[in-house]
Amino acid sequence: MNNDGNKVKVKLHRSSVSLNLLMQYLLAVVGYVGGLILLVFLAWQFCRLFIWYDTDPLYHFLQFIKDNIAAFIGVLALAGWIPITYHFISKPLSYLDEVVAAAEQMAVSPENQVILSPALLETQNELNRVRESALRDAAAAKEAEQRKNDLIVYLAHDLKTPLTSVIGYLTLLRDEPQISQELRAKYNGIALDKAQRLEDLINEFFDITRFNLTTLTLESKLVNLTRMLSYEFNSILAEKKLKWEMQLAQNVQIICDPDKLERVFDNLFRNAVNYSYPGTDIKLTLTQTDTTVIIEVKNHGKTIPPEKLSRIFEQFFRLDSSRASTTGGAGLGLAIAKEIVELHGGTIKAESDNESICFSVTLPCKKIV
């Protein structure tokens, strides 16, 4: 790497094409020189079969060649070496022109397949792999950008509903001072619920901005994971008559960033609550091995189709396309959770079948004695 800090020197190695050309060139030069020497030897032997006289027209010419045999052979060698060298220099240059033209084609019309000479088949396949990878990345980026833009539009539209309700009920409370205490309390409760929903939507806007503009970094320390996972969600469980079941290994301690891991678990718990059938159990388990800890959050809800399960950790991907107020989010929670878990050197995965959903997080650890 150079002083700029962002350029990497490529380690060069000869490709099969250049090796083949070099070998062909060497064989052609050696073959020509060997053939030339053999031809001169045979000519010399042939001339010795005759008796030459001073009056013979060829005598003086042959004598001149004999006296300057080294120069004569050198001229013949040079006369053959020049066209051979030109041929083998022009061939790689034509290959280079093909690769340059292919690169220009990839930039202008990447949807078209690159086709090169048969000798460049390996290069052709590599360029097509790069082209296809770039097309996939561009399509994925475009899709993510479109999903983000759609969500921003939806969120902006969704902001109006709770805001209108808050203003409406507060205006009603201001303009009707004779309202009973019971009705006043009811209107206050509704306004508070709508204000909290408004806060959630605004937080989603901040999530989108933070995810695009910041890079997550860890502030690690020794944490008692058992204690972190022991807090209750009774307030949000009660709304859907859910039960919280815990099976936690005792005194599990790991080195991690507690604030960021807490965000991961909070997201998984709230997802489990949002997508659970009423009156069912949510099960949280924590197990430890010599090298890892495994956290599983399992709930009973509608089975997630395989095509959605494979994309569940993508940015701005939402299971609930209807944007119901109880489950509608920015589609960033699981994407951020995956990034946080992977920054810790762990993995996160999702499984769903038979109306069961299970998220499992595996983190590296060392047992604390």
| Segments making up each domain of the chain, as ranges | 16-108, 139-213, 221-364
What pLDDT, on the 0 to 100 scale, is given for residue 316?
Answer: 63
What pLDDT, on the 0 to 100 scale, is given for residue 96?
Answer: 83
Residue 187's nearest CA partner among 167, 207, 205 is 167
Range of weakest confidence among 150-159, 289-298, 299-308, 346-355? 150-159
Main-chain dihedrals φ then ψ at residue 297, nearest 5 degrees: -120, 115
Q: What's the whole-number mean pLDDT along residues 16-32?
A: 86
- Name the amino acid, one letter, at 68: N
Which overall architecture, per CATH, does domain 139-213 show? Orthogonal Bundle (1.10)
Q: What is the 3-state secondary structure (H, E, C) of 295-340?
A: EEEEEECCCCCHHHHCCCCCCCCCCCCCCCCCCCCCCCHHHHHHHH
Who contacts 308 (Cβ-Cβ below 8 Å, separation ≥6)? 319
Cβ atoms of 225 and 262 closer than 8 Å: no
What pLDDT, on the 0 to 100 scale, is given for residue 352?
Answer: 93
Q: What is the pTM of this model?
A: 0.51
Tokens 């080294």 correspond to what residue? 70
Q: What's the whole-number mean pLDDT along residues 321-348?
A: 73
Q: Give yes or no for residue 3 having a pLDDT over 60.
A: no
Q: What's the whole-number mean pLDDT along residues 244-253?
A: 90
- Name the amino acid, one letter, at 194: K
Q: What's the whole-number mean pLDDT along residues 50-73?
A: 80
Under the banding of pLDDT at 50, 70 and 90, the label for residue 59 is confident
Q: Give yes or no for residue 292 having a pLDDT over 90.
A: yes
What pLDDT, on the 0 to 100 scale, is given for residue 298?
Answer: 95
Under the banding of pLDDT at 50, 70 and 90, the label for residue 325 is very low
Cα 64 to the chain's mean position, in Å? 74
In the CATH hierarchy, which fold is given to the domain comprising 221-364?
Heat Shock Protein 90 (3.30.565)
Task: Give the integer Cα–Cα distance in Å for 133 and 138.
Answer: 9
Q: What's the whole-number mean pLDDT along residues 239-248?
A: 85
Q: Give yes or no for residue 212 having a pLDDT over 60.
A: no
